[in-house]
Amino acid sequence: MKRVFIPLIAGALALSACQQSTAAAAENVVRAPVAERPAKEGKGLKTAVFAGGCFWGVEAVFSHTKGVSSAISGYHGGSAATATYAQTNTGVTGHAEAVKVTYDPSVIRYDQLLRIFFSVVADPTLNNRQGPDVGPQYRAALVPLSAEQRTVAAAYLKQMKASGKWKRPIVTPIEKYRKFYKAEVKHQDFAAKNPNHGYIRRWDKPKVAALKRLYPVVYRANFKRN
């Protein structure tokens, strides 16, 4: 499908990307609070799923985060029969574009990933949309894969709501894990393979730049490819 993107400067530019949409205001970068309830996940690699709009940007940010060993774009929430890019973009499959993140908690904890996610990736006050992308397939959602992650996610959302950092209500939900379906090859490492793509330059490179600016200690200059 084709997305129509009207930038906030003179001139219109049509881009092919996650979904057809109209103009959107620039996304806000918010320094989310340090988690009061840190994750206690023990040793060994852990995995969690994050939905936060078009998966290109979610994948790009986490691929530039130290301690993340892989960030895989895919679909979560629907069935195997509809786990394709074209069908998910209809908005009726139950799927969200999502990213499965595998990380080393001795380097970066789940609560720290949550902080990054809500600081530079997803606006937690938006329902069924992120940035220029509109529809339930672009919803923001946390998908914990363990009881500890679920406890930490719930505590962090509660903390966010009480923090006053956001002017509108926090609406990002915690979703029960269903099967995660890996997206088509062309969507993997998309920002690294297509750095000059109009959508990447307009929406996703600023997210990576914000990660570097806000959290330089955990920023990794090289894109960790899958």
Q: What CATH number does residue 61 fall under?
A: 3.30.1060.10
Percentage of the chain beyond pLDDT 90 is 87
Span 47-63, pLDDT tens digits: 999 999 999 999 999 99
Q: Is residue 126 part of a domain?
A: yes
Q: Is residue 159 part of a domain?
A: yes
Mean pLDDT score across all residues of the chain = 90
pLDDT bin (cut points 50, 70, 90) of residue 27 is: low
Q: What residue numbers bound the domain in which 95 lies?
A: 32-214
pLDDT (mean) for 71-94: 98
3-state SS string over the chain? CCEEECCCCCCCEEECCCCCCCCCCCCCCCCCCCCCCCCCCCCCCEEEEEEECCHHHHHHHHHCECCEEEEEEEEECCCHHHCCHHHHCCCCCCCEEEEEEEECCCCCCHHHHHHHHHHHHCCCCCCCEECCEECHHHCEEEECCCHHHHHHHHHHHHHHHHHCCCCCCCCCCECCCCCEEECCHHHCCHHHHCCCCHHHHHHHHHHHHHHHHHCCCCECCCCCCC
pLDDT bin (cut points 50, 70, 90) of residue 21 is: very low
pLDDT bin (cut points 50, 70, 90) of residue 22 is: very low
pLDDT bin (cut points 50, 70, 90) of residue 20 is: very low
Q: Give the total number of structural domains in the chain.
A: 1
**Residues annotated catalytic, as ranges:** 54
Q: Is residue 17 part of a domain?
A: no
